[in-house]
Amino acid sequence: MRESAVIATESQLGRLPSGRSGNGAVITRPSLMKKLQERGVRMTAQRRLLVEIIQDSPRHLDAAGLLRIARKHDEDIDRATVYRTIGLLKRHGLIDELDLMHIEGEKHYYEAKTNRDHCHMACFRCGAIMEYASSGFEKLKQEMAARSGFQIRVVRLEVGGVCKRCQKSAN
Amino acid sequence: MRESAVIATESQLGRLPSGRSGNGAVITRPSLMKKLQERGVRMTAQRRLLVEIIQDSPRHLDAAGLLRIARKHDEDIDRATVYRTIGLLKRHGLIDELDLMHIEGEKHYYEAKTNRDHCHMACFRCGAIMEYASSGFEKLKQEMAARSGFQIRVVRLEVGGVCKRCQKSAN
DNA sequence: ATATGTGCAAATCTTTTGCAAATTC
DNA sequence: GAATTTGCAAAAGATTTGCACATAT
C-alpha cells in the first residue's frame, strides 16, 4: 500500500493535522515551548500566550486572528507583539507560513511545524482547506536537494482548485 | 536517466525558464496574447504593453517592476492598470504568482505560465532563485489529484534554503 | 452607441518601526 | 542592573476602489 493520504479536511480554514494519517504515519506537532526553552529564548507572558495559541489552534491563524484570540486572555496585547513573535518563531523555524492560495485576501497563515511536511489544497469554490501528506512529497524534496545541491530549510507546496464536493454540486 | 533537472539559476531574481531543460524536456511559454484573443478579451494599448512585458521578461517581475518597465514605453500608465491587468491574467490562469519565499519583502512576482510546472528555490543567503522541474513533481500532482479528488488548477511549490555556492563559501 | 477600461487620488489592509516604559534573567 | 521586550502611535508598503473621462468593439 502506498504511503500517502489526505490527513484532514475542514470547511473554511482547515483543521490542522495531528494524529494518524490514513496510511498509518503519525503526524505530530512538537512542543514549541520546549524548543524555545532549549534554545534559551527569553520567555515573556505574551510569548507564552501566543505560542500556546498557535500550538493548540485547531485552525490556521493569521496575525489578526491570533491577536483576536490572544486579547481574550490579555486585553492589552498589541498587534506589534504578535508580529514580532511570529517573526521570532519563523526565524527559529518553528512555524510554517502559508498563503492558502490567497483565498481570503493577502494575509499569511501560520501553523506549528509538524514532524512531517504536508501540503495544503484550497478550494476556490467553498474555501475548504485540505491537508495532504505523502511519501511522494518527501521523495521529491530529497530529489530536489540532491540534484540542485540546495540545502532545503523550508518547503511550501500549495494547490488551488475545486474540491470533490464542489465538483459534484456543479453550481 | 531520470527526467528531472535544474532548469535555470540566476543571481538575484531568477531568469525565467525556456528552452531545453537538462533532461531534454522542452519548456515553453505559450503566447499570452493569443490566448487572450481566443477568449475574446478586449485588448487595449495598455494591456498589450503589459502582456508583452510579462511574456518577454527574462526575470520575475513584481507589480512595481512591471510598472517601472511599462512606463518606459507609456509614461502615463498607472499602477491601478497594472494591478487590474495582473488580476485579469490571474483569473484567466495565464500567469503564475510567486512569493519567492519573501526573500525581498511581501511582494508577489509573476511569470507567464509554462507548459510544464516547475518549482522555485530561493537562497536565503545570496537571494539567488533557482528553477526546478522534474517528473517527480508531475507525478506528485497526479497522485494528489487522484487521491484527494481535487481538480487542481494552480500549483505552487516554493523552497527556501541555502544554495550550493553559499554552502561552500561558508560565510 | 454602449459597454468596458483608464488615470487619478484617496482609501484599505497588512506589516514594520521608533521610542519611552515595563519586564526578564 | 543590564539587556531585552512591550505597547503605543505613527509610518511604510502593497493592493484596491470610486469616479469622471477615454477607448474598444
Compute mean pLDDT per 10 residues along chain A, 171 residues long, and list them. 56 49 64 96 98 94 98 98 98 95 92 91 92 88 93 95 91 61
Interchain pair A156, B161: CB under 8 A: no
Assess contact for A162 and B23: CB atoms under 8 A: no
The pLDDT, as a whole number, for residue B8 is 58
Q: Which residue of A has its CA nearest to B5?
A: A147
CA of B152 vs chain A CAs: smallest distance (Å) = 4
Angle at A143 between CA A19 and CA A90, to 5 degrees: 55
Residue A152 has its nearest CB partner, among B97, B148, B159, at B159
CA of B37 vs chain A CAs: smallest distance (Å) = 24
The pLDDT, as a whole number, for residue B85 is 98
Where does the pLDDT of residue B168 fall: very low under 50, low under 70, confident under 90, or very high at 90 and above?
Answer: very high
Which residues does B28 contact at the CB level (< 8 Å), separation at least 6?
B18, B114, B115
Q: Report how far residue B96's alpha carbon sits from residue A160's, in angstroms, rounded to the nearest whole number.
A: 12
Long-range CB pairs of A137-144 (<8 Å, 24+ gap) are A137/A4, A137/B140, A139/B136, A140/B134, A140/B136, A140/B137, A140/B140, A141/A117, A143/B4, A143/B134, A143/B136, A144/B119, A144/B121, A144/B132, A144/B134, A144/B159
| pLDDT beyond 80 at B90 | yes
Q: Report how far residue B119's alpha carbon sits from residue B98's, in angstroms, rounded to the nearest whole number.
A: 10
The pLDDT, as a whole number, for residue B23 is 47
Average pLDDT over residues B31-45: 97
User: Between A and B, how many residue pairs show a Cβ–Cβ distance under 8 A?
Assistant: 129
CA nearest neighbour of B14 among B52, B51, B60, B56: B60
The pLDDT, as a whole number, for residue B105 is 86
Q: What single-letter amino acid sits at B131?
A: E
Q: Report how far residue A146's alpha carbon sits from residue B118's, in angstroms, rounded to the nearest whole number.
A: 16
Residue A62, H or E segment = strand A61-62
Where does the pLDDT of residue B3 fall: very low under 50, low under 70, confident under 90, or very high at 90 and above?
Answer: low
Contacts of B167 in chain A (CB under 8 A): 149, 151
Interchain pair B4, A147: CB under 8 A: yes
Return the higher-pLDDT residue of A73 and B9. A73
Percent share of chain B, pLDDT over 70: 84
The pLDDT, as a whole number, for residue B16 is 54
CA of B70 vs chain A CAs: smallest distance (Å) = 24
Q: Report how far residue B143's alpha carbon sits from residue B137's, in angstroms, rounded to the nearest whole number.
A: 10
Q: Report how far residue A42's alpha carbon sits from residue A24's, in angstroms, rounded to the nearest whole number.
A: 37
The pLDDT, as a whole number, for residue B29 is 84
The pLDDT, as a whole number, for residue A13 is 42
Q: Does A163 reach chain B within 8 Å, measured CB to CB?
A: yes
Where does the pLDDT of residue B121 fall: very low under 50, low under 70, confident under 90, or very high at 90 and above?
Answer: very high
| pLDDT beyond 50 at B93 | yes
Interchain pair A149, B140: CB under 8 A: no
Q: Estimate in Å the CA B65 to C1' D22 gap, whole number.
A: 26
Cell of B13: 531574481
Enumerate the β-bridge partners of residue A154: B160
Angle at B36 between CA B33 and CA B39, to 5 degrees: 150
Residue A148 has its nearest CB partner, among B97, B130, B158, at B130
Long-range CB pairs of A86-93 (<8 Å, 24+ gap) are A86/A110, A88/A41, A88/A47, A89/A32, A89/A51, A89/A54, A92/A35, A92/A36, A92/A39, A92/A41, A93/A153, A93/A154
Interchain pair B149, A157: CB under 8 A: no
Q: Estimate in Å the CA B40 to C1' C3 gap, whole number.
A: 14
What's the whole-number average pLDDT of chain B?
A: 87
DSSP state letter for A101:
G
List CB-based contacts (under 7 A) with strand D.
A 41-42, 44, 46-47, 74, 76-81, 84-85, 106; B 42-45, 62-64, 79-80, 83-84, 86-87, 105-108
